[in-house]
Structure 1
Amino acid sequence: MARLNLLEETRFEKLPVTVYEDQREASVAVARRIATLIRSKQARGEQAVLGLATGATPVGVYAELVRMHRQEGLSFENVVTFNLDEYYPMLPTAVQSYVTFMHENLFDHIDIRRENIHIPDGTLPLEEIHAYCLNYEQQIEALGGLDLQVLGIGRTGHIGFNEPGSAPNSGTRLVTLDDLTRRDASRDFGGKENVPRKAITMGIGTIFKAREIILMAWSGKKAPIIKKAVEGEMSSEVPATYLQLSDNVEFVLDKDAASDLTRFNTPWLVKDCAWDQALIRKAVIWLAKTLKKPILKLTDEDYNAHGMAQLVTEQGPAYNINIEIFNQLQQTITGWPGGKPGADDRRRPERALPEQKRVVIFSPHPDDDVISMGGTFIRLVDQGHEVHVAYQTSGNTAVWDDDALRFVEFAIDFNQSIGQDGNQLKEMYKEMRHFLESKQPNQIDPPALRDVKAFIRKSEAIAGARYAGLPDEQIHFMALPFYETGKTVKNPVTDKDVELTMELLQKVKPHQVFVAGDFADPHGTHIVCFRIVLEALQRLRQQETWTEDCWLWMYRGAWHEFETHEIEMAVPLSPQEVERKRNAIFKHQSQKDRPVFPGDDAREFWVRAEERNRETARNYDELGLAEYEAMEAFVRWKF
């Protein structure tokens, strides 16, 4: 019976999928499977032939293999490896090369023989590539083929660098990279313009010949493409769908990457559910959106025809369910994000008391506060709360080089206008100019240049916070150490980051803390900063009683918005408040027009924010609630 139930749950899935709680657990499981293969081959005196992938996805697997080598004696002397791909052209010594990646993450830490390592050569003359690729295939075949191929997946659905349009029988070859792939790689190269346009990759046909294929994916960013690859029709537009033809493939996912699969996202379509309030709310909103009907117009027949007969049978009729969910949504809407004085707050998202609250808004970058919750920020100040904003990082990697020079030139001219010679500043300016003339992609700026970029972001943040109504003493710049590397790749978080956060919280003793919960941030800074605040609050909860009355709210907006069913507080904005929010965002001049790292959304931040806020309001309106100009949304973190 259990097997039958599993088949019913996974009936939309066209290949085997294993889901783990998080990527660490999944990575360890994959590493153990690789180790088992290596050891079984060793026992038979045979070589293990592995196909390896690069990128962020397999890093945890390689770390676990290194640990097993060091602590458990796992030997790689019998292992032969073939990497999937390499950029072209690409020097093996470049920091972005997959040769560098593989040595830093695996090969330099294990006992593999150097002659057993094969990575496509990104330095070949163009006319030699065809013969080289044929030879790459022949080397794999001469060893009896790949025993195990490890894969990641790109957001285009590529495996290796087999981009949309690749044939299922393709071999190792030179390919042109999709624009989205190049955008995703842009941060590693210091801008998309520096990302190579081509790559050498194993073909889909080469991958298919492996006796075992494991495709791994982590995080919600991969969820949409995973759904297409696992549940979609086979198509050259999503090359990973060709894996549906293999009998030897398994997708290994964390729960976030699996979150769009039918059995997790809309489980009522595949099985009977344990209907709690959160699931009922999600399902009813899904039904209303699917049918494009307000919630209060849904009927028993609508429920029965869309996989929700169990719900309407057990807890119906539909009218009662509709009223309950409509009321729940209505109660999330408040014009009083700090609580409404003198109101009955039993069904309001925030407490009425104390009437004037102490509030800390944590902003990972110097502009996230106004981009993501600028309207609520301004309203909290207008309604008399003691609001503090804490900028967790300097944001100094996200300023254009020529902007930094422009500000130094201004400082030189200003010094001269007041009779100062500014010789030291002029000398520093010359050094900056000299550095920038030969600067390589992602090369670390010298300290003085990093400082100038940080000062630019700081002055903009002050202007934005002042516009929102804050006095200077309630504007805090934390410069958390993990960020201050000068590199796009940051240092690990340490106790110092947490302790600085604890000190600020102890100073303010807030009733409300707002923190970025937008983990789709392509820089990864948001989730790091969120975890720092969470750890600081958890430590303080063991020590100080004021934390018992401190609520933690998560905001989004710069990259994605919460789903409607997730929202616990929706703050409506009038047209005038939307304009005030826009003006606060405009104070961040260095991020106007085109930011250094825009992600895959070409819109300016103020446009993104307004369109997302209007979309949130439109979603509420279409569900049958009041029509507002815009809304900012929040979810409360439960300790």
Structure 2
Amino acid sequence: MPRLNLLEETRFEKLPVKVYPDMLTASKTVAQRIATIIKQKTQKGENTILGLATGVTPIAVYNELVRLYREEGLSFKNVVTFNLDEYYPMSPDTLQSYNVFMYKHLFSHVDIDPENVHIPDGALKQDDITAFCLDYEKKITAYGGLDLQILGIGRTGHIGFNEPGSAPNSGTRLVSLDELTRSDAAYDFGGKANVPVKAITMGIGTIFKAREIILMAWNAKKAEIIKKAVEGEISADIPATYLQHSDHVEFVLDTDAASALTRFDTPWLVKDCVWDEQLIKKAVVWLAKTLNKPILKLTDDDYNNHGMAQLATEKGPVYNINIHIFNKLQHTITGWPGGKPNADDSQRPERAEPARKRAIVFSPHPDDDVISMGGTFIRLADQGHDVHVAYQTSGNTAVWDDDALRFVEFAIDFSRSQNLEDKKLEDIYRNMRGFLQAKQPNQRDPQEIETIKGLIRKGEAIAGARFVGLDDAHIHFQNLPFYDRRKVSREISYEDDILQTMALLQQVKPHQIYSAGDFADPHGTHKTCFDILHESLQRLGKTEEWVKDCWLWLYRGAWHEFETYEIEMCVPLSPKEVERKREAIFKHQSQKDRPVFPGDDAREFWVRAEDRTSETARIYNQLGLAEYEAMEAFVRFKLNDIL
């Protein structure tokens, strides 16, 4: 591509950005850059001084560096490292400490001298922190400064733990953590209440002294903050924007993290486009939302004044484009998610035949089915389809300790009321009380407690599925092993999870599959569950004919909906159906009011779900379509693409 065109395409971006197709490719590229610096400086007899980050983002980089050490002889004997930050207070041997993290993912696997490893000390007395921080800065300076600083980015825009409000010339210091940062760390600590409120961090001024700075970000969860950091104005509210001042910085992103940048999100604003069907739909919906106008009221001036003159010229007249996209959206709306029998299905999202379909809803946690697509679930059952539900994990992590005690106490009281002798149950109860009284943050429960918590969620899921209209033979509890294994290690095999899923699919032989399509967090349960299902279908597709006639529909959870232009099936719900969906969600009592891991949204799950579906309905209505109480949206994953 000519340089002029590239500059035009990236004109909204205020610092250099490289985008790679996936996280693994990008991580290997960064690791190779680090390796090159190490080799070049080693040849000169010099040390390499690296600034290192923690968290999920750099793990694949560290994995590749370990591989280069083991397989290609990359030596770390002349490498000196300084880590960005550490929680405070934090013992260096605590599971959540960054000291443990670095040795687990890098230092224990290479030949680095422990004397060359520097990590902020979270176990210091508070009176000693200032002196430690000054000494940390002096050590970096004594080594000649950092050759390369690796960064991630938090959703507040923090780099290191430099939260909003940090000064651009700040040095290593003790800081208070933003509430959103603490919410994002809640899972690792067994709840937000256990996350430290402070941390020791290198300052922005310290980071700026590095001769090279690479900021990495993966997945769509980071897309919004990346856009602000790359295209926004420099502001203390988003510390990463200070990097726009540096001549030695580069952002390394995967396609999902880069997706909100102007050149990818609204490319018609920066360049001529190849106008395929999906891009036209995206642009027209964007224009209608931007102007708050129904699609059929968009004019030539609207197109010309908002970067879409090329579309109007190539595909116009404009009114014809409007009608075409309006019809496309209208055809996504159906009250028959299983297909309408004896109807012309050429303009409908689902097939008319077979009239009675076998459908299976895969629910990563025991409540995702009713929270995410409860109205559609109910409608499929009401319309006579052969509907199954598969709860992929036990969800036992998300049950309060006192709820587990309460259920065992009930069992003991019931046994006593019926004159049943069960000393073993009372022994389990005493052991539970003793363990929970001494339990440490994020400490894994013994098997008995995990089982009890899993049974609590199982009972709630059965109640919800029965309310929808399923009999017990159509309710499947997979309890996939990865869920508990991953509490011990991320490096596990998923083979038995896949085989178990394949067996269930062979048993049901569905015409329709519904699966969670929340891929923003590639290390989350939803994404893992989809990957297991995806691999199962790939394998079955080689030998099973029914797979060729199976359609896979993706749904979203309680937080974020598909973009309007992405939606391929939208199921409207009446006020009564919204009420029935709410009652199904209420069967999950352990998740009501205040769940263990609520995220940074204080609303209850049923409120989030209703707000999301009512917002989808509002957007459709604003675009000029019929007004409904709520709408559940789906995107079809084309199985033929993987077979």
TM-score bracket for this pair, using the shorter chain length: over 0.9
8 Å contact from structure 2 (residues 371, 606) kept in 1:
yes
Counterpart of 1:631 in 2: which secondary structure?
Answer: strand
Which residue of the partner structure matches residue 608 of structure 1? 608
Do 2:15 and 2:249's aligned partners in 1 also have CA atoms closer than 8 Å? yes
Q: What is aligned with 2:106?
A: 106
Counterpart-to-counterpart distance in 2, 1:523 and 1:577:
33
Report the Cα distance in structure 2 between the residues aligned to 1:203 and 1:395, rounded to whole angstroms. Answer: 39
Which has the larger displacement, 30-39 or 116-125?
116-125
Q: What letter corresponds to residue 262 of structure 2 in structure 1?
A: T
Note if contact 2:349-2:569 (Cα within 8 Å) is conserved in structure 1. yes
Unaligned 5+ residue runs, structure 2? none
Contact 1:153-1:215 within 8 A present in 2 as well: yes
TM-score, normalisation: structure 1: 0.99
- Name the structure 2 match of 1:599: 599
- 1:446-595 matched pairs, under 5 angstroms: 446-485=446-485, 487=487, 492-520=492-520, 524-595=524-595
What CA distance in whole angstroms lies between the structure 1 residues aligned with 2:2 and 2:364? 46
Q: The residue matched to 1:92 in structure 2 has which SS? A: coil
Q: CA 1:3–1:316 in 2, change beyond 3 Å: closer, same or farther?
A: same
Q: Aligned equivalents of 1:522 and 1:619: distance in 2?
A: 28
Deviation of 1:485 (Å): 3.1
Q: Distance in 2 between matches of 1:588 and 1:614?
A: 22
Question: What value does the CA root-mean-square deviation take over the aligned residues?
Answer: 1.0
**What SS class does the counterpart of residue 268 from structure 1 fall into?**
helix
The 5-angstrom pairing of residues 323-472 of structure 1 reads 323-472=323-472
SS at match of 2:485: coil
**Gap change, CA 1:19 and 1:142, over 3 Å in 2:** same
User: 1:118 and 1:348 mapped to 2: Cα distance?
Assistant: 61
- 1:6 aligns to 2:6 (yes or no): yes
Give, in angstroms, the shift of residue 558 of structure 1: 2.2
- What is the distance in 1 between the residues matched to 2:530 and 2:346? 28
Deviates more, 1:119-128 or 1:454-463: 119-128
Identity %: 72
Measure how far apart 1:446 and its partner are. 0.6
What is the Cα deviation at residue 484 of structure 1? Answer: 2.2
Q: Is residue 221–residue 521 contact of structure 2 (8 Å, CA) maintained in 1?
A: no
**Aligned length, in residue pairs:** 639
- Work out the CA distance in 2 between the residues paired with 1:170 and 1:232: 21
Which amino acid in structure 1 is aligned with residue 106 of structure 2?
Answer: L
Alpha-carbon distance in 2 for matches of 1:604, 1:116: 48
Tell me how far 1:488 sits from its aligned partner: 8.0
SS in 1 for 2:50: strand
Task: Show CA shifts across 1:99-144 (max 9, x none).
Answer: 0000000000000011100001111111111111111101111111
- What amino acid maps onto 1:56 in structure 2? V
d(CA) in 2 for partners of 1:469 and 1:437? Answer: 41
Alpha-carbon distance in 2 for matches of 1:488, 1:509:
34
Report the residue type matching 1:389 in the other structure. V
Relative to structure 1, is the Cα distance of residues 486 and 137 closer, same or farther in structure 2, using a 3 angstrom cutoff? Answer: closer
1:271 corresponds to 2:271: yes
C-alpha distance in 2 between matches for 1:143 and 1:483? 44
For each residue in 1:455-483, what CA deviation from the matched residue of structure 2 results, as whole angstroms up to 9, or x when unmatched?
A: 00000000000000001000000011111
Q: What's the offset of the Cα at 1:489? A: 6.2
For the structure 1 residues 283 and 261, does the alpha-carbon distance in structure 2 shift closer, same or farther, using more than 3 Å as the test?
A: same
Residues 1:297 and 2:297 aligned together: yes
Q: Any gaps of 5 or more consecutive residues in structure 1?
A: none
CA contact (8 A) 1:357 1:385 kept: yes
Verify the 8 A CA contact 1:393 1:478 in the aligned structure 2: yes
Partner deviation per Cα, 1:33-71 (whole Å, 9 max, x = no partner): 000000000110100000000000000000000000000
2:124 is aligned to 124
Per the normalisation by structure 2, the TM-score is 0.98
1:486 Cα offset (Å): 7.7
Q: Is this contact kept in 1: 2:494–2:532, CA < 8 A?
A: no
Q: What is the SS of the residue equivalent to 2:633?
A: strand
Deviations 1:360-402 (A, max 9, x none): 1000000000000000000000000000000000001110000
Offset, 1:557: 2.6
Are 1:224 and 2:224 an aligned pair?
yes
Alignment of 1:244-323 (within 5 A): 244-323=244-323
Give the partner amino acid of 2:538.
Answer: Q
Give the whole-Å Cα distance in 1 for the aligned partners of 2:105 and 2:487.
18
Are the aligned partners of 2:486 and 2:492 in contact in 1 as well (CA < 8 Å)? no
Q: Distance in 1 between matches of 2:170 and 2:633?
A: 47
Q: Deviations over 1:156-182 (max 9, x none)?
A: 000000000000000011111111111
In the alignment, the residues of structure 2 paired with residue 568 and residue 497 of structure 1 have an alpha-carbon distance, to the nearest angstrom, of: 29
Deviation of 1:546 (Å): 1.0
User: What is the letter of the counterpart of residue 205 of structure 2?
Assistant: G
Query: C-alpha separation between the residues in 2 aligned to 1:488 and 1:235?
Result: 40
CA contact (8 A) 1:557 1:612 kept: no
What's 2:38 paired with?
A: 38
Tell me, yes or no, if the aligned pair for 2:522 and 2:528 is still in contact at 8 Å.
no
